[in-house]
Amino acid sequence: MGQGEKTARHLTYQIAITPTAMKMLKGISDRRIRVKISDVIDRLATDPDKQGKPLTGELIGFRSIRAVGQRYRIIYKVQKEQILVVIVTAGIRKVGHKGDICALAKKLIRLRLLEP
């Protein structure tokens, strides 16, 4: 492993939460769930591109990580140039449901409220 690889591995990324994601987090009434989601967000400061999974289709360029069991997900984007992780949405993953977190993220992209 070269010296540059060692240095890159120890970078700490800044975390930015979009207003939409912040509103979604505040809307979760169970304080314990909010704390668990917050812990996962904090862990994204280290090696965010090795956590979660890359998304496809309209959400290409974004990643998704499970936050609380199988239900809650955080969708985020790693901006390596700025050493920044942007949390774009957080909530329940429920395929086919209008409140599904991935469906919401796609809608935000279509409305150009998130950059793909």
For the chain, domain boundaries: 3-110
| Tokens matching residue 17 | 């939460």
Q: Which helix (H) or strand (E) holds 9?
A: helix 3-9
What's the pLDDT band for 15 if we cut at 50, 70, 90?
Answer: very high
Q: Which class for 103: exposed (0-12), middle (13-18), buried (19 or more C-beta within 10 A)? A: middle
Q: What global pTM score does this model have?
A: 0.80
Q: For domain 3-110, give the fold.
A: YaeB-like fold (3.30.2310)
Q: Would you give the distance in Å from CA 103 to the centre of its chain?
A: 14
| Tokens matching residue 91 | 């909530």
Given this model, what pLDDT does residue 77 score? 93
The answer on pLDDT for 6 being more than 50 is no
DSSP structural state of residue 115: -
Closest of 45, 58, 52 to residue 106, by C-alpha: 58
